Amino acid sequence: MTHKIVLIGAGSANFGLSIMGDLFKSEVFAGAEICLHDINAEALARTASFGRRHIERYNLPYKLEATTDRRAALQDADFCIISIEVGNRFELWEQDWRIPQQFGIRQVYAENGGPGGLFHALRIIPPILAICDDIMAICPDAWVLNFSNPMSRICTTVQRKHPDLKLIGICHEAASLPEHLPHILETPLENLRFQAGGLNHFSVLLNVFYRDTGADAYPDVRAKAPAYFERITNVLGWALPSLPAEHVATVGHRPWAERGLFKVILERFGYLPVTVDSHFGEYIQWAHDVVDHAGILDFYRTYKLWVAQKVSEETLLRGSGDDWVTSQVLESIAADRPTEVLALNLPNRGFIDDLPSDITVEVPACVDGNGVHGVALGRFPRGIAGLLRNQIAVHDLTAEAVLTRSKAAALQALLVDPVVDSVRAAEQTLETMLRVQQRWLGYLE
């Protein structure tokens, strides 16, 4: 069977080239039609040019198309992969971050959680909803993979409008566990069985066992992880090899780098976070007191430089690096190859007992030709469940604000957020953001 795969946001060369690179390596998708779509014609043409040269050079069996016409791109699509941003990504991100801080809101980052996560969501969800409107009208049986953030707020809102959409949220954060657990426990990855779950960028390792003995390995994680993370001096290895040496020299090399909050969660709650302070800390009202702020700034600065670096054919050859994303999800559905995946973002259909059914959660999943089957994780440890429940009203009201175009709901989303402790600060922040980002937030009434 020949498949058609549409990459929406393909003008982003890191996204477009890396996903094409994964597809070009796939036996399952040999002969597939790959359609690149973006609203930026110049950026789209650049990505398409790389792809066509690569196909020609290696005589690959793919048909590559590129168009700024989204409805044309979606015709007969089997898979749609979305990775978009709006406006000047980092200029807006820094407004999301600094303006709430100016009014006294102590948020530690501004991508997915806290006030910054709200404004990011309010900007990006409407265009993603428009994309999904077209998918439901043109190719309603297509599988839709969302890579955009804020992941949980996007997927929750889209599923409320389009409950029949075959939507999967994909994030690579859970890949940190296979990286670290074998070193912490001094045993091969193949000897470990584990599960993680929660909300995107707000998940923890729930359990871990030794396969050879069946013994619970979590006591060893709690005993050995502190010494291991004392030895790990930075968490930027994914970016450092490709960045200039003069920048690498400025990255912090401290024990527990970008893991101050991480350490507190492990010590006080007894569970290992899946991700680091910049991500986990967005959701917790006392995070500002314990996160590694220098590490967060290093992370942001390095990420900004990594995104800005010039891409090349090397990006195509390397692919995304997250083989579990492209191969395990896309190929498992297309070729009916049952596969277990560490984490996917799905509507909470009984997967986490402590959270409502209409919120998108991050859980392990089994993927096959019949689709995606989340793994039920039952009840969470009480402390972790409490942290997660603190976010439910925030996500709920974010969806309400977008779907009803309600400024009042947006304010309520701020006022129920644990990070916000002042009505005046919330109101001033909202009014300022509505003015500064009027182009994207002007729909709120």
DSSP string computed for 374-400 = EPP-BSPPHHHHHHHHTTHHHHHHHHH
pLDDT digits (tens, 9 = 90+) for 79-91: 999 999 999 999 9
Q: What is the pLDDT of residue 325?
A: 62
Task: Please tell me whether the overall predicted TM-score, pTM, comes out greater than 0.85 for this model.
Answer: yes
Identify the bridge partners of residue 361 per DSSP, sorted by sequence position.
346
Active site residue 172: yes
Q: What is the domain partition of the chain in residue ranges? A: 4-172
Q: What is the pLDDT of residues 126-162, one digit of tens each?
A: 999 999 999 999 999 999 999 999 999 999 999 999 9
Question: Burial code of 192-206, b = ≥16 C-beta within 10 A, e = fewer?
Answer: bebbbbbbbbbbbbb
The pLDDT value given to residue 235: 73
Residues 6+ apart with CB under 8 A from 230: 255, 256
- Of these residues, 3, 120, 172, 201, which one is catalytic? 172
Please list the ranges in the chain whose pLDDT falls under 50. 323
Distance CA 431, CA 442 (A): 11
Gap between the Cα atoms of 335 and 79, Å rounded: 13
Nearest of 411, 404, 405 to residue 441 by alpha carbon:
405
CATH number attached to the domain at 4-172: 3.40.50.720
Residue 78: name the closest of 424, 338, 371, 417 by CA: 371
